[in-house]
Amino acid sequence: MRVTVSRKAHFNAAHRLYRKDWSHEKNDAIFGKCNNPNFHGHNYELIVSVTGEIDPETGYVIDMKVLKDLIKSEIEDAFDHKNFNLEVPEFAELNPTAENIVVVIYDKLRSKIKTEMDLEITLFETPRNFVTYSG
Active site residues: 34, 81, 125
Give 56 or 127: the residue with its C-beta nearer to Ni ion: 127
Residue 102 binds Ni ion, judged by CB under 5 A: no
Give 18 or 133: the residue with its C-beta nearer to Ni ion: 18
The SS3 call for residue 74 is helix
Residue 34 binds Ni ion, judged by CB under 5 A: yes
Least distance (Å) from Ni ion to the CB of residue 53? 39
Stretch that binds Ni ion, among 28-36, 45-53, 61-69, 102-110 (CB under 5 A): 28-36
- Going by the DSSP 8-state scheme, the letter that residue 71 receives in this structure is H
| Alpha carbons 74 and 69: distance in angstroms, whole number | 8
The letter for the amino acid at 109 is L
10 Å CB burial of residue 80 (0-12, 13-18, 19+) is: middle
Q: Which residues bind Ni ion (CB under 5 A)?
A: 34
